[in-house]
Amino acid sequence: MRFRANGSFDGAFDPLDELGDLAREKDIWLHVDGAHGASLLVSDQLRGRLKGIEKADSLAWDAHKMMFVPAPCTLLFYRNRQDSLGAFQQRASYVFDEEPDRYTELDSGGVNFECTKRPMIMPLWTLWSVYGRALFAEKIEYLCELTEEIHRIVLDEPDFEAVHRPEANIMCFRYRPADLRDEDVHRFQVAIRNRIKIQGNFFISKVNIDGVAALRVVMMNHQINAEHFRMLLGEIRRLGRDLLDSGK
Ligand SMILES: *Cc1c(COP(=O)(O)O)cnc(C)c1O
């Protein structure tokens, strides 16, 4: 049985503490997909949002999401080190020595599937060892604060709709000018998002929430600020007006 996170589309955290207790009670393996959100662990201020994550049997975390490093840089953690030996096990006598020698204990082939690929941990390890944890914490705290700020901006704009209160660095919202009919809301958000992509000034994504499309911004770059977001709203208005006026 797998618990499927459904909060991740809007950066919300699943109730890990409760899931951890439930998994233990029912003797179920709990895997946490922390690809994006586990980065908040580096911040003393934000770590509490992942309360209960220590109950996971395994945790996937992408450093290429929020940790400044190029893709791919993915980490997989196990509660029990021994479990790492079982996960990717296979028989292949031409790769894995069945008669151990003095190098066997250094061979990482049995605990991952990278084999001959470059060790993807190096970009993260290099930055971390030069700058330490504080640099990452500062960036991520800034991005989460910025996301709260842009949420307040959306709440203040009568022609925009805030869909949720952000829990991390992702915010979903809709553009709903007064003359937009309810049955057109979905199609309109999709059309706006496609226009924005073509314009090339901003990159935003789209997500369906309760079956209706919403615009989705993910704050990843610490050089972005609220002014940039206001520029995005301006562009959405301009493109949206254009679509409505041309009847598309
Ligand atoms: C990005 C992401 C993935 C995909 O991970 P990649 O390693 O980038 O392919 C999976 N789950 C969540 C929650 C993500 O944010």
State the DSSP string of 110-135.
GG-S-TTS--TTHHHHHHHHHH-HHH
Which token pair is 34?
A: 């922390």
Before 72, cis peptide (omega within 30)?
yes
Residues in the chain: 248
Counting from 1 in the atom list of ligand 1, the atom nearest the Cα of 36 is: 15
pLDDT reported for residue 113: 72
State the burial class of residue 185 (Cβ atoms within 10 Å of its Cβ: 0-12, 13-18, 19+).
Answer: middle
CATH number for the domain whose boundaries are 2-131: 3.40.640.10
The pTM of the whole model exceeds 0.85: yes
Q: What are phi and psi of 179, to 5 degrees?
A: -90, 10
Q: Which residue has the tokens 């700020």?
A: 149
Domain range list for the chain: 2-131, 134-246
Closest CA to 66 of 37, 31, 44: 37
Residues of the chain with pLDDT under 50: 1-5
Q: Which atom of ligand 1 has the smallest separation from the CA of 71?
A: 8
214 Cβ neighbours under 8 A, 6+ residues apart: 163, 172, 173, 174, 189, 206, 207, 208
- Cα 140 to ligand 1 centre (Å): 17
Q: Tell me which fold the domain 134-246 belongs to.
A: Aspartate Aminotransferase, domain 1 (3.90.1150)
Q: Measuring from each residue's beta carbon to the nearest atom of ligand 1, which residues come in under 6 Å? A: 8, 33, 35-36, 62, 65, 74
Distance 91 CA to ligand 1 centre (A): 29
Atom of ligand 1 nearest to the CA of 72: 7
Ligand 1 midpoint to CA 36 (Å): 6
Q: Nearest C-alpha to atom 2 of ligand 1 is from which residue?
A: 35
- pLDDT for the residue numbered 1: 40
Tokens of 231: 């520029």
The residue among 155, 146, 166 whose CA lies nearest residue 228 is 146
- Look up residue 159 and give its two tokens: 């022609």
pLDDT at res. 119 = 84
Give CA–CA dist 175/194, Å, rounded: 14
From 195, 210, 166, 138, select the one nearest 10 (Cα to Cα).
Answer: 166
pLDDT at 8: 56
Q: Which of 11, 45, 1, 4 is nearest to 151 (CA)?
A: 11
